[in-house]
């Protein structure tokens, strides 16, 4: 295939890093390794207050990336809202997610939109923008079936799920089924780590958990752990480097990942790559595309008692953890950058 001049359009929330940022970096490296000329165009995104969202969205509409210094750009790959509003004759969308607070999270505690005239007007404007920007794309891919189903439900667009590999693909490894449940999720309300703490307080076994990562909920979660008198059974490590993170995956009994209707779920994919069972819930969204109850982990109701029962079972029987963890690597083996690059650059 002839090398292309490609721009990846990415939305950046300043001072925040997560799965979307890792996806963009991984895509850039993969495209470069296939001989393409690649760069990332990123604009800051501020969603609060909701009335300001349209300003950020329209900024994408105003920039010209058809050519750079009179040299044409062959392909533009857009990721999450509102990057796909950019204009280009060969625009492909690999959708991480839309502005979920205006869509599936609307009317829930996870959205800062309320039922007032000003917010309804912003929400209507976002719907119009999405129909326009996404409708211009030559092809629409998404990072999961879950995102594809939302896009079809709310906007009527068909799309193709295309799973992104973890940044640690190829480096994750099986290890002993140790004496802790591991969480690498961002300490954010949507990741529902309070559910794990409340489950720990109800286990019959002395189950321990290690939390690696940062986020706005750290202080609240640490206070909750103290209120529940978990002591050393809940350890918050904060940010850890890549090598330490990989070691923590390798040595865990299981990995807890039970977000609210997740778009995709890098943590689950990484846990499976390290041959660790995933403890999740039946409302975790994209995670359930990889985790079958009793095959790759445990799926329960999103209630502390139900999660506690699964943790107790894994703690009492290391053989169970090994049986559920064993099929993990095969489950995610076909998630490769080779496949992603082939799909996104195919004319």
pLDDT digits (tens, 9 = 90+) for 27-40: 999 999 999 999 99
pTM reported for the whole predicted model? 0.92
For the residues 185-200, what does the mean pLDDT come to? 96
Backbone conformation region of residue 69, classed left if phi is above 0, alpha if psi is from -120 to 50, else beta: left
Residue 78 · residue 86 · CB < 8 Å: yes
User: What's the DSSP call for residue 166?
Assistant: P
Least confident of 16-30, 82-96, 267-281, 287-301: 16-30
Matching residue, tokens 């850039």? 28
pLDDT in tens, 221-250: 999 999 999 999 999 999 999 999 999 999
Q: Which residues contact 128 (CB under 8 A, 6 or more apart)?
A: none
CA atoms of 186 and 173, how far apart (whole Å) = 22
Give CA angle at 203 (198, 209), nearest 5°.
65
Least confident of 185-189, 244-248, 318-322: 185-189
CA atoms of 218 and 237, how far apart (whole Å) = 10
Q: Which pLDDT score is estimated for 219?
A: 97
Domains and CATH numbers, the chain: 5-162 (3.40.50.2000), 181-332 (3.40.50.2000)
- 3-state SS, 253-285, equals CEEECCCCCECCCHHHHHHHHCCCCEEEECCCE
| Average pLDDT value over all residues in the chain | 94
């Amino acid at each position: 295939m002839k090398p292309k001049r490609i721009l990846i359009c990415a939305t950046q929330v300043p001072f925040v890093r997560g799965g979307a940022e890792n996806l963009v970096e991984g895509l850039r490296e993969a495209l470069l390794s296939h001989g393409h000329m690649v760069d990332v165009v990123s604009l800051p995104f501020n969603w609060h207050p909701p009335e300001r969202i349209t300003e950020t969205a329209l900024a994408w509409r105003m920039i010209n990336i058809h050519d750079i210094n009179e040299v044409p750009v062959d392909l533009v790959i857009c990721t999450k809202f509102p990057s796909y509003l950019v204009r280009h004759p060969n625009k492909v969308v690999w959708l991480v997610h839309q502005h979920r607070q205006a869509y599936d999270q609307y009317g829930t505690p996870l959205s800062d939109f309320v039922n007032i005239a000003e917010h309804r007007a912003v929400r209507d404007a976002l719907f119009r923008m999405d129909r326009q920007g996404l409708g211009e794309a030559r092809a629409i891919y998404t990072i999961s079936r879950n995102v594809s189903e939302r896009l079809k439900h709310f906007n009527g667009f068909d799309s193709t799920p295309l799973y992104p590999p973890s940044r640690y693909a190829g480096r994750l490894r099986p290890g002993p089924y140790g004496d802790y449940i591991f969480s690498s999720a961002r300490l954010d309300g949507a990741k529902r780590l309070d559910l794990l703490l409340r489950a720990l307080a109800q286990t019959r076994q002395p189950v321990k958990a290690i939390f690696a990562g940062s986020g706005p909920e750290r202080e609240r979660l640490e206070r909750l752990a103290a209120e529940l008198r978990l002591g050393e059974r809940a350890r918050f490590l904060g940010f850890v480097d890549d090598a330490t993170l990989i070691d923590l995956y390798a040595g865990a009994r299981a990995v807890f990942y039970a977000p609210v209707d997740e778009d995709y779920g890098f943590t689950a994919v990484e846990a499976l790559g390290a041959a660790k069972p995933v403890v999740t819930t039946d409302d975790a969204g994209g995670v359930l595309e990889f985790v079958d109850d009793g095959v790759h982990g445990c799926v329960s109701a999103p209630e502390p008692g139900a999660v506690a029962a699964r943790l107790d079972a894994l703690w009492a029987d290391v053989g169970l953890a090994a049986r559920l963890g064993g099929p993990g690597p095969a489950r995610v083996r076909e998630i490769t950058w080779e496949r992603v690059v082939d799909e996104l650059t195919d004319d």
